[in-house]
Chains A and B, each alone.
Chain A
Amino acid sequence: GAVVSQHPSWVICKSGTSVKIECRSLDFQATTMFWYRQFPKQSLMLMATSNEGSKATYEQGVEKDKFLINHASLTLSTLTVTSAHPEDSSFYICRPHGYTFGSGTRLTVV
């Protein structure tokens, strides 16, 4: 079956630093990748949609300069949280279009 590998599973970083989250499709090609963020009180929010070889499409209210998405190949999409702040602490999840979710990344910014 299709395997989606998301890495790291958790990360702690200092305010002002940048963190890169990787989402890999191990045995299939992902043309489109969705990135989600889970807010406190459990709601799941779509942040952006990335398409291989083109710019990502961000949902309203999501800062594209802060959450950099790169989808350079059909097997790898990355989300970089730039100049992270404590309010960016959250659970980030990827999902290739048509496939299941990644295992998620718990980001804690201190």
Chain B
Amino acid sequence: DQQVKQNSPSLSVQEGRISILNCDYTNSMFDYFLWYKKYPAEGPTFLISISSIKDKNEDGRFTVFLNKSAKHLSLHIVPSQPGDSAVYFCAARAGSYQLPFGKGTKLSVIP
């Protein structure tokens, strides 16, 4: 039973355009959400997070939106750059419960 779902395994975007990565979750107890970025043969690195008391968090080119009623969050990258090409994982947390991860979305930014 997957509590965190990323339904798009891959996404291709032209350089300079917006990349939108989506994530859905099922557990309404989740109170904190994170996005990680992962390059091949490297561990995931933390990118951006959002608390359930917010609906938006912005950090430079990266913005995460949270829609609690729909149990949906999204990561927007604008403008997309070739260096953004990686696999992006969303994760969720309920208190200290270890966060489950989505299966990841591979983003390819085409120059």
Could you say which residues of chain A place their CB within 8 Å of the CB of B104?
42-44
For B98, the chain A residues whose CB sits under 8 A away are 34, 46, 49, 97
Residues from 70 to 110 in A contacting B, C-beta threshold 8 Å: 91, 93, 95, 97, 100-104, 106
Closest to B106 in A: A42
| B30: interface (CB < 8 Å) | no
Shortest B33–chain A CB gap in Å is 15
Number of B residues with CB within 8 Å of any CB on chain A: 18
Residues of A within 8 A of B42 (CB): 103-104
Q: Give the dominant DSSP class at B's interface.
A: loop
- A45-66 toward B: CB 8 Å interface, digit per residue (1/0)? 0100100000000000000000
Q: Is B111 an interface residue when CB atoms closer than 8 A count as contact?
A: no
Q: Which residues of B contact A42 (CB under 8 A)?
A: 9, 38, 87, 103-104, 106
Interface of A with B (CB < 8 Å)? 6, 9-10, 34, 41-44, 46, 49, 91, 93, 95, 97, 100-104, 106
- What are 12 A-B residue pairs whose CB atoms fall within 8 Å in the complex? A9-B41, A10-B41, A42-B38, A42-B103, A42-B104, A42-B106, A43-B103, A44-B38, A44-B101, A46-B101, A103-B43, A104-B41
